[in-house]
Structure 1
Amino acid sequence: TAMVKTPLCLDSSGPFHFGIYQFALPLISSNSITIKILYSNLWGLMSLSTMGNNLAPTSQCLELMYCISVVLGGLMLFTLLVGNIQIFLQAVMARRRKTQLRYRDMEWWMRRRQLPSRLRKRVRHFEYQRWATMGGEDEMELIKDLPEGLRRDIKRYLCSDLIKKVPLFHNLDDLILDNICDRIKPLVFSKSEKMMREGDPVQRMVFIVNGRIKRSQSLSKGMVATSVLEPGSFLGDELLSWCLRRPFID
């Protein structure tokens, strides 16, 4: 078998001092474009992630300046990463602290009012469900101090997909739709909690974003009709029909 001798200029143990370019020797000796792309990306990531610790420069001025820039770039990226993580953790801890204070006040109030254990359990379950769904944030609270026009446009953007699913909204003008969107607010209901009872007056229209709602209606001879509303459905449109049929009174 014939042995292929490595050229002297590509021999890492030869008389040439490659410095930081020693890692580029496999790129020159390989004919594969994939290897060249992957190896160059690997070298760049290693240099930035280790802040230039894998570089061994020579005494060339430009080479030293390049190594300094790589080290400074790695330090800057690391500082940005730590800063973003710190800001994220502070925001999460602030929301968690606010929720803990609310939970503590709720527990104190339930003990003072001597609520039964079953009601306390429902309250705790609701608070847990609210935290899991909203993450301690209230979107309406965030935008309440914005200018009225900007707040209206934001709520119109957030609610446009919901109101388009209601056939009664298709023929309404933009002014009425803006007023409807301005009054939409998020609500969270825990599992097995009753939203409204049969026979109660309809007070709101509900759009289902997440979860499902089981609706039941009593029929004759003791029979009960049930149906399940999936995300994207709505209920309470009888209130809207009544408002549109009712004449305006000055």
Structure 2
Amino acid sequence: MDPLFFYTPVINEDMKCLELDKNLKKIALALRSVADLFYLVDIIFQIYQLNVTSKISINGATFRLERVKSAKKILLSCIVIDTFAVLPVPQVVFFIFFTKRRGSRSFIRMFMNSLILFQYVPRVLRIYLSGNTPNIQTRVGILVKAVFNFFPFILAGHILGGIWYFFAIQRERTCWEYGCRENGCGSANFDCNDNIFRNVTLLNVLCPTNPPNATLFDFGIFLGAVQSDMLRSTNFSKKLLQCFWWGLRNLSSLGQNLEPSGSNQWENVFAVFTLLSGMMLFLIYLNATLQTLSVQLEKIRSDERIFRRKMQLISPEIDLWLSKNDLPKDLKMVSGRTEKHLRTVIVENVQRHLQENKDVDVENILAVLPLRHRRGIMSLLRLTSLKKVSMLESMDEKVLKAISEHLKLETYNEGSYIVPEGEPLEKMMFITQGTAWSYPPTPSSKGGITITSSNTKWLEKGDFYGEELLIWALKSTPSSELPMSTRILKSQTEVEAFAIRAKDLKTIVAKFWWHFRTELRHLEDFQLEHWHNLAASSVQENWRRYCARANKRKLRNWRSKFIQIN
């Protein structure tokens, strides 16, 4: 906001004098005052922090650090920088000395211009220190950092354009002073508030701008500002955009478009300053970009090292999980348009989760797999569990798949009764995780006391419970009730198991009854009556379907013959 002060001087062309844009003056003062208020608050806070950190406490006693150390901290801190930045240099230069300056004393002009340039040193230094804050390694942080690295170029263009406008005002005033000194056109004070008569016609002849005359007076790099009439306008937006464009253009070209006059030292200094500023900004931006790339590259390398370490730890766990679940590593699975081994599919999905910074629970490895692969592996796990039952070991694959479709994964907490005493046996279970024990009901089993009976059977992963339910499904009639459980099943740890309900099992047995014909030989006559009826109805149903298909074929044949005749 300090460059706003550069735009406050305005040339009154009719009177050949300088005045201040009152509206812009008020806005600039208000904005600068608000900024100074924030600086003062920050300075007070930093002094308070230094006062707190300059005390140490040992065994309840407080000691002050040496004054030299405290002074060093102050010098190393931003307090001194902020103090210089808050000094009211623009207000003093523009509103007190600039319009009131008399004569052409070069040392006054040099001193004022030096103050104007050096007032930005603490501000620029403060911005540079702010840019060295710790990097924020997030997408938003990287974006903010990139914008902040480009911000000094925008700010420098704004400042340089304002200085160019201010020096152009001075350059035209210098022409007036030179003309009055050489030709005696009146007072050399060019403040519009003094109401002094000036020979405007003579000044127009001695300071021509359209067209310019370098023999009379060379405006140098400020000729464009003088010819554009923006020095005489109070349209702030027009002046700001034009000067901002000039600043950006010359910064980006390192001042190659500038052709300063040889008679004005400050013009040459300003041209050199523009070139050095452009080079410095380019080097700062290049350095910041390289630092950002270096930090990102180091982060990528660090993430890769962490990723490789995690995969080294997880890879044996994957092999162990496959072994525990009796799943072959080279089992082919469809992944996209190709077939891949089961282990490869699991490893690829684990890698994807780790790259997305997601946790991977090896005990629940199915959670990282896509739904189609999860269903395929779950089906394999169910079939593996079913084939451990003696009655289903050599069963047709269709029957096993039908049973597996009705298996539901259930979880039981530690110490819970899965099948209580005296309850109907309503499901058959295949344990996949955890341990449980099965024991016969005894008078001492109630109340949760420890069972030490020799009939206790431990069940763990791969074991099943409730095989008698399958026998019941074979022997039962439509009106048969569920069998009573002959043993109590209680979880020792958290247990996961596939379970199939009695009604679902009975439905499957009835649907595929001919696959159980070996077991049907051992049934009694009254038990076989139900299966005889079921077989008869099945034969009738198949005969009806056969007749329906035969009739459809005959109808198609007659229809085709009729079409040929016509």
TM-score if structure 2 supplies the norm length?
0.21
Choose 1 or 2 for highest CA Rg: 2
More strand by share: 2
How high is the TM-score relative to the length of structure 1? 0.45
